[in-house]
Amino acid sequence: MTGWRRKAVGYAGATVALLVIWQLGSLAVDSRALPGPVPALAAFAGSFATELWPHLVSSSWRVLAAMTLGTVLAVPLGLLVGRSPRADAVFAPLIFLVYPIPKVVFLPVLLVLLGLGDASKIVLITLIVFFQLLVTARDAARAIPPGSVLSVRSLGAGRADVFRHVVVPAALPDIFTALRIGTGTAVAVLFLSESIGGRLGLGYYIVDAWGRLAYDAMFAGILAMALLGVALYELLELAEGRLCRWTRVGR
């Protein structure tokens, strides 16, 4: 069985199990607040092309833009800090002082400064992704065995060659792991930011449906946000498979 077919079978089995657990939970709770999967899926199918689609597009754009921006800013800086003792001495104290601060507390400030549109939400998610990737890239670059660098330098490689052929390939798997973990955090923060400010996005859609006691619509929005998270995770898996093929040997 090929890898893709095995994954498809696994997803199908997990989906069936989740639907069964969902249905049993709905029957046990016996409340309108927890509809079964059938009415929720019917609401999702009925509202997707009309009400739900614009919110899904807006949320997808925000999280993709934020994760791309955070990656582009954090990875080069993290690799540089990890390989340069001087840069590490300057930046490491600042990184580890700021990193533990929960960035979500800055949401009210960003809403005031940048408004209720895309900018405040993208900046907030970028901050969170940035520091997760920065710490991971730095630690991955620092963990490269000196022998790996010396063996390449003995062949006449310069600093740029070492980064291209040693540092980046060695750090990429850890960076992709951090990105996959950051996906769940990014989607969660996206929901929070959209539920507080603005009138467009899956977070707003879910909270608005909850306020109207339209629980079927609320779960339709939850399903859309879950699909967004799964899609992002699978895109990262695909990218890692293409860019880090040596890690897939023997799987």
Please give the angle made by the CA atoms of 39, 43 and 44, to the nearest 5 degrees. 115
Look at the block and give the residue holding tokens 């940035």. Answer: 130
Cα–Cα distance between 158 and 141 in angstroms, integer? 17
CATH for 35-248 is 1.10.3720.10
Domain positions in the chain: 1-30, 35-248
pLDDT in tens, the chain (251 residues): 566 677 777 778 888 899 899 999 989 988 888 898 999 999 999 888 788 999 999 999 999 999 999 999 999 999 999 888 888 888 888 888 888 888 888 989 998 999 888 899 999 999 999 999 999 999 999 888 888 777 877 777 677 778 887 888 889 999 999 999 889 899 999 999 998 877 889 999 999 999 999 999 999 999 999 999 999 998 998 888 888 776 665 45
- Among residues 186, 202, 226, the alpha carbon closest in space to that of 41 is found at 226
- pTM score: 0.87
